[in-house]
Structure 1
Amino acid sequence: MSEKTVLTFDKTALTAPVDRAAARAEAQEALAAEGGGVTARSFASRTWFVGVGTAVGMALIAAAAVLVLIMIMRLATGHGVALPFAVLAWAVLALPYAYRRIARIAPQLRDADDRWYRLRRFAPANGLTHALREADPQRRAAVFEAAEGPQLDDPVTASRPRPLEVANLSFHIGGGRARMDIAIAYARFTVRTALPALGIQSVTARGGAAWRPQAPQAVIAVDDEFDRRFRVSCAPEDAATVRALLGADTRSALVDVCGDADVQVVGDEVWFFARQDLRLQDPVVWEWVEDLSALLDRTLDPRPEASARSDQDAARALRRRKVLRGAGAGRPFVLGCLVPLLLAAIVVVIGAMTG
């Protein structure tokens, strides 16, 4: 991290070639030292188990879907479907997903090795500290109060020019059939300015926010245009202060830098949440962290010693939006689910017609 008064990272380690053998060896050593009982073998076994288990589960769902299609055809036409056509319909529906899911397992393991390899070099080059994971983290943000079984993956921390922490957070809420697994990412900054407790949640981002406003906080109106992008909540007695804090410049900066992220102020901490986990070895993530720090320097926590930096780089803003918005469903859902289902239905129809 640069000694300049504006937060800037040296991202060379995030783009340099990876020595695969060294990455594998370092991952094994890191898991043995910091894995909390998770070894390289158990990590790989769990990854394979989850991948294969998901593929098998999809195969069972595909079998049930084919049976439903056959029943519909029997009711509609009075004809059954020969076994070869039923098997072919199942294969068309199940095998593409199963192949993609299993084929991703080895790249997932390599990606973990590469991530740790890069972050272990990126962190010391910038005066940061990196840990593999932290089980049951205790933090002040509201999401940690409701999270069950929380775990931080790859927490990266710094103490200057302002204290910060960047990590992926995984947890679940509910239990049994109602259990929901959630993975998000956050950047937390410690500020010197006394700020009221407040939440700023994106209205336009995919998925739901990681927390809900808790009493006595309630949603307030700030500005018509801003309210179409964000939902602001605070205690009623802080409403006037929050509206004054979120002036035109601050609102514009939040829209530019946090359009698909959520913000929470708790004590002397400002939290920025992405609604999905992020690839922390991606340089764009650290560009976002730089932009968040610059946003604080200009608005919520002005630092006279901070040098000005423009975040109006259009290419940088586009990269940031893509990372924060995530892949989404859209075309992958159509190609991965609806098209195979349509093909399976066609096979069932042909089987019924030739039966």
Structure 2
Amino acid sequence: MSQPAPTSTFDARPLTEPVDPAAVRAFAAELRSRQSAGVNAATVVGIVVAAIAALVMVPIFVSVILNLAAMGGSPASAAIPLVLFLLLLAGAGVLIWFGVRGARITRYRLHRFAQANGMTYEPKVIDPPLPGMIFSIGRSRQSTDLIRGTRPRFVEFGNYQYTVQSGKNSTTYRWGYVAVKLDVPLPNIVLDAKGNNGFGSNLPASFQKAQRLSLEGDFDENFTLYCPAGYERDALYLFTPDIMARFIDNAAELDVEIVDDWLFLYTQRKASTLDPATWAWLFGAVGALLTKFEQWARWRDERLVDGTAHDGLSAPSPALPFAPPAGMLTPPPGVAPQGRRLKRGGSWVPIVVVFGLIAFWIVSRLN
């Protein structure tokens, strides 16, 4: 991928220009041939359910038609519900056709957009193996419309969804994301953007307040930063004033997570879309940060050599009985166990809801 830039250095024409229907059909056939090698369980279940519904509903409908004809004595009276049913079926078919056609055109446009900008397009990935906070929640996890680049480093733009079951009810959550591969693992750091929050944070996870770190300038007005306890100095090394300014200018509406050797940008709207303005925004955000990742690549966790890098279960390594060579004083790339993941905190929203229901019940009993 050519390095994204804050301006319109990418080619957005494939997102909006007219498409060749024959090319759309050919690309749809190519995608079907890729997927035909392994039909997933959901597709099989859908086919079986549709077949059973047809076998059950058709005899029932024919029986109703025959009964109406026998009761009314006129074939025309029996034909009325049949005509209505056929019209309803035709209308549903037209809507389905338009939906399928629109989805095919969208995929083809994104494919052409990826080609025009030196990237690749992938329609769907089930349960993507990414370490970000949104990728380990719920079930039916999948990324769609993925656009990937590999130069100057791996970058993936995609839409993501997962379903959370709560009793008999289920809720599907949708995100847009950008995943950027870093040079070395870094401490788990989260920047909760205040500009996209509603009634509290919009993130699917909460973190202990003791892990909040206040930074200088306008940064605290735009982000709440969380870093593992004891890694405050490391966070200050990573988030120098110039890097903080870039986040404020280019990613103030995006939530940010650094975990392992990945950086994630999260948004609650589609990241992979036919909207050129969205791509300009995301390419600009990534391009503004790429030039600073070389500085992050020089970070090392001193806890990996001073004997303090342990998980609380094993004792620290004993001191070496000799003076180590100078080269051994530089830690290898990596993060000590205590810095790899932030400690999660409980959410107070369910507690408020429970107390609210109890208060409502008490008031209703008193009245």
Q: TM-score range by the shorter chain?
A: 0.5 to 0.7
The one-letter amino acid paired with 1:115 is: T
* Structure 2 residue aligned with 1:264: 257
Compute the displacement of 1:29 (Å): 4.3
Cα 1:243/1:177, change in 2 over 3 Å: farther
Cα shift readout 1:262-308 (whole Å, capped 9, x = no counterpart): 1000122111111222352332333233213322234344599xxxx
Q: Does 1:22 align with 2:23?
A: yes
Cα shift readout 1:127-171 (whole Å, capped 9, x = no counterpart): 322111011221111221223221010112222111111110011
TM-score, scaled to structure 2: 0.57
CA distance in 2, matches of 1:28, 1:303: 44
Compute the displacement of 1:188 (Å): 0.8
The one-letter amino acid paired with 1:240 is: R
Q: Does 1:241 align with 2:234?
A: yes
Compute the displacement of 1:110 (Å): 3.9
CA distance in 1, matches of 2:148, 2:267: 17
Alignment of 1:130-149 (within 5 A): 130-149=121-140
Task: Tell me the SS of whatever aligns to 2:174.
Answer: strand
The one-letter amino acid paired with 2:274 is: Q
Aligned length: 246
CA distance in 2, matches of 1:287, 1:303: 25
**C-alpha contact 2:5 2:288 (8 A) present in aligned 1:** no
Structure with more of its chain in helix, by fraction: 1
Compute the displacement of 1:117 (Å): 0.9
Cα shift readout 1:80-133 (whole Å, capped 9, x = no counterpart): xxxxxxxxxxxxxxxxxxxxxx99876644431221111222223333221110
Alignment of 1:101-180 (within 5 A): 108-180=99-171
Cα 1:6/1:253, change in 2 over 3 Å: closer
CA distance in 2, matches of 1:228, 1:103: 50
CA distance in 2, matches of 1:211, 1:260: 16
Higher RCO (CA < 8 A, seq sep 6+): 1
CA distance in 1, matches of 2:143, 2:279: 18
CA distance in 1, matches of 2:108, 2:135: 28
Cα 1:296/1:195, change in 2 over 3 Å: farther
Task: Tell me the SS of whatever aligns to 1:249.
Answer: helix
CA distance in 2, matches of 1:170, 1:198: 23
Aligned with residue 39 of structure 2, among 37, 40, 44: 37
Compute the displacement of 1:191 (Å): 1.9
Cα shift readout 1:205-254 (whole Å, capped 9, x = no counterpart): 05553432457982222236322321111101111221343233222221
Task: Tell me the SS of whatever aligns to 2:282.
Answer: helix
Alignment of 1:141-220 (within 5 A): 141-192=132-183, 195-206=186-197, 208-213=201-206, 218-220=211-213
Compute the displacement of 1:28 (Å): 4.8
Runs (5+) with no aligned partner, structure 1: 47-101, 305-355
Task: Tell me the SS of whatever aligns to 2:135.
Answer: helix
Cα 1:132/1:194, change in 2 over 3 Å: closer
* Structure 1 residue aligned with 2:290: 297
**C-alpha contact 1:148 1:171 (8 A) present in aligned 2:** yes
Runs (5+) with no aligned partner, structure 2: 51-92, 298-367
CA distance in 2, matches of 1:303, 1:237: 18
**C-alpha contact 1:218 1:235 (8 A) present in aligned 2:** yes
**C-alpha contact 2:178 2:271 (8 A) present in aligned 1:** no
* Structure 2 residue aligned with 1:255: 248
**C-alpha contact 1:197 1:267 (8 A) present in aligned 2:** yes
Cα 1:103/1:299, change in 2 over 3 Å: farther
